[in-house]
Structure 1
Amino acid sequence: MNFVLAAGGTGGHMVPAHALAAELKARGHGVLVITDERGAKIPGLFDKVPVHVLPAGRLGRNPIALMKAARAVLAGRWEAKTIYREHRPDAVVGFGGYPAFPALLAASSMRIPTLLHEQNAVLGRVNRALAGKAAAIATAFSQIDRLKPRYRDKVVLVGNPVRTEIVKIGEMPFPPFDDTAPLKILVTGGSQGATILGKVVPSGLGMLDPSLRHRLQVVQQCRADDIEEIRARYAELGIPAELMTYILDMPQKLADAHLVIGRSGASTVAELTAAGRPAILIPFGAATDDHQTANARDMVRAGGARAIPQDEFTPETLAKQIEMVASDPNALANAAARSLSVGRPNAASDLADLVERVGGGYAPLMVGPALTPRKAAAYAGPGVPA
């Protein structure tokens, strides 16, 4: 079968779409991706998968901005319909974000079945607007806020797809930790880093008891504007730290870590629970509908994470939380197991199963000209029969 994946241009939307694309291609299906310019530029995603950039306005309350957004959505819808006439997808999968909106509208108007995947524990605005037309709503968390009761019978809990390299970490033993071993901490604040982590974390680590502070090994993602200041602060504290603006080898850094400090974005929580890594989470206070607080809910309840509200995130609070979890050599391993207990490492496979079921119930409409062999081969990808 052929599928179109439509996703907003942030890593939170694009990474699970990438994981699903890889799974579908491994099963012999054709995959095409629709996103915006930001999503098309994210490195390392969608190898040998065609990517189309569509115009998509961000809807708001300003009348002028709303008119511009509406024109962009209509233009994107028209372009998406042109793509569908040529490629004839069996289903279109939306991962949220405004760039997915015109692609899903076009699919519904052409009676192509749609499936929504919600990465967060709060249903996003685009998915809320399109839930009524969707054949199914795949969710990443057991409890989803802002979902209308009449749509609950469409919900299928599959989890949030993550890379296979992350899943393999959860299959390996937790790194050894005792009273003398180094304490390896990974600090990540999203694809662009987080200023508040750069300000609070070094000072918090500096407040730890010397017996623990002298065993620290830190890997931290930083904003480019902050990295030299943070480097100087760690040098002043005598704490060895590897700093970078983008973590290319995230699977290896995560595998090495005993404890992760970071935001509770959907992809972060999915990777932590699939890998089985304990965390101290600081939900982003300005996130839409406070969805990052909701994302942390299952992991905190299981005992795999501690959540600190952003307005309470101080060096003193952080130091106290680290000492509580690192004082007992068995506590970190226990928290790791609890984190792993709420993970869904088979999310990509389970989502692909659902996508196949939705696509399999639809006989493609004969819209537009038939595919030429050259176009069919390009769409299906190398080694995949058109």
Structure 2
Amino acid sequence: MKILIFTGSSGGHMFPAFGFLDALQARYPLIETLLVLPKKSLGEWAKKRNYPYKVIEVSSFGLAQGIRNVKAFLQLCISFLKVIFLFFAFRPAAVVGFGGLSTVPAIMLAHCLGIKTLIHEQNVLPGRANGFLAPFADAIAVSFKETSRYMARYEKKIALTGLPLRKELTRIEKKKALAFFGLDDSFVTILVLGGSQGSHRVNMAFLQAVSSLVRKDGIQVIHVSGPLDHAVLKEAYGKEGIPAGIFDFLEKMQFALSACDMVVSRAGASTIAELIRYELPAILIPYPFARKHQAENAKHLQEIGAALCIEETASLASELKDCIASLANDKERLMRMRYAYRKTAYRDGGNLLSEAVLSLCP
């Protein structure tokens, strides 16, 4: 059996695809897979994980971009042709799409050719590509039950699978995880994340917030900053005397997620799934320019009492300081936030999604 997997260019699309491939290959090693990526630069990710891949480039469209949109449209047309040739060369039993413009040609053509299709929606609020593709897909896998409200017309197609996490994201004993970073197990450890690309606004707001705390002693930080702010943060934490591990990118995220007591982060779907998996109290700062995707994701954890949510406004650093101070000094509240995750079920997204895909195949 052969399965084709198409994914968008962001970590929010790509990491769930890797989680799916990890689970599928672990349980069904004889199934042949091919991952199709929209950018050459993403190939290194697939190489590291030893997954066969192919690149079919697709550029995004934008408002008032003129000639760039013309080029993007031409590239999309070319990608349709390349996908047709790929289908006839690879002959998949099923095609799986993880969102993004690059999945549009694949799912539409598979539908026309009678090949079974499944799309996976990572966020609570469906993305444009998946919203467009929903009528053509044979099945729609969702990460959150709330997503069904936005796709009620396709209720019979929907399967609640959760979001597939990469196989390495396992729990590690806390002292061992802290030792990995050279941090003290008697301190409160805050993990700061800005999404797969890093967030300058989150980085700087957190630095300002933690630096202005009246009581900084007893706090230590693991900060995954992205490349832009790495040097600035390293110098600033040193000056403030705050123990910190600063990384532009951290491959072994399982150590950071196992070591920390609380998280300050954007609210991408993969981050939410990781918080649920590790039952971590969080202060979430949804990215304000993503069609409210992250706001809806954050709301899911806020409503069960597992997270605080702050809007990205001019007073972000001040609000963040107050939230950090209230949580870092209240171990009982942190424990209640951990227990709140028991109100939402953790789902083995990789295995459930694998079964959903295979159920479509003859």
TM-score between both structures, scaled by the size of structure 1: 0.84
Percent identity of paired positions between Structure 1 and Structure 2 = 30
Mapping for residues 235-250 of structure 1, pairs under 5 Å? 235-250=238-253
Partner SS, residue 18 of structure 2: helix
* Partner residue in 2 for 1:380: none
Q: Which has the higher contact order (CA 8 A, sep 6+)?
A: 1
Deviates more, 1:86-95 or 1:332-341: 332-341
* Partner residue in 2 for 1:92: 95
Partner SS, residue 306 of structure 1: strand
Deviation string, structure 1 residues 79-132 (Cα, Å, up to 9, x no partner)? 112122122111100000112122222212211111110001111111111110
Name the CA shift for 1:312/1:159 in 2 (closer, same or farther; >3 Å). farther
Q: CA deviation at 1:241?
A: 1.5
User: Do structure 1's residue 231 and structure 2's residue 234 form an aligned pair?
Assistant: yes
Q: CA deviation at 1:218?
A: 0.7
The size of the alignment, in residue pairs, is 353
In structure 2, stretches of 5+ residues that fail to align are 179-184
Distance 1:129 1:15 in 2: 22
Distance 2:106 2:95 in 1: 8
Q: CA deviation at 1:65?
A: 4.2
Partner SS, residue 8 of structure 1: coil
Distance 2:43 2:310 in 1: 33
Q: CA RMSD in A?
A: 2.5
* Partner residue in 2 for 1:383: none
Q: CA deviation at 1:323?
A: 2.3
* Partner residue in 1 for 2:335: 333
Name the CA shift for 1:228/1:59 in 2 (closer, same or farther; >3 Å). closer
CA contact (8 A) 1:34 1:103 kept: no
Q: CA deviation at 1:23?
A: 1.5
Partner SS, residue 207 of structure 2: helix
Distance 2:124 2:19 in 1: 19
Deviation string, structure 1 residues 224-263 (Cα, Å, up to 9, x no partner)? 3322222232223221121111112211111000011110
CA contact (8 A) 1:11 1:42 kept: no
* Partner residue in 1 for 2:264: 261
Name the CA shift for 1:61/1:42 in 2 (closer, same or farther; >3 Å). same
CA contact (8 A) 1:21 1:46 kept: no
* Partner residue in 1 for 2:181: none
Partner residue of 1:117 out of 114, 117, 120: 120
In structure 1, stretches of 5+ residues that fail to align are 361-386
Q: CA deviation at 1:341?
A: 4.3
Residue identity in the other structure for 2:300: D
Name the CA shift for 1:44/1:30 in 2 (closer, same or farther; >3 Å). closer
CA contact (8 A) 1:282 1:313 kept: no
Mapping for residues 270-309 of structure 1, pairs under 5 Å? 270-287=273-290, 289-309=291-311
Residue identity in the other structure for 1:20: F
Distance 2:342 2:236 in 1: 33
Partner residue of 1:198 out of 200, 203, 214: 203
CA contact (8 A) 1:13 1:96 kept: yes
Distance 2:3 2:48 in 1: 14
Q: CA deviation at 1:172?
A: 8.4
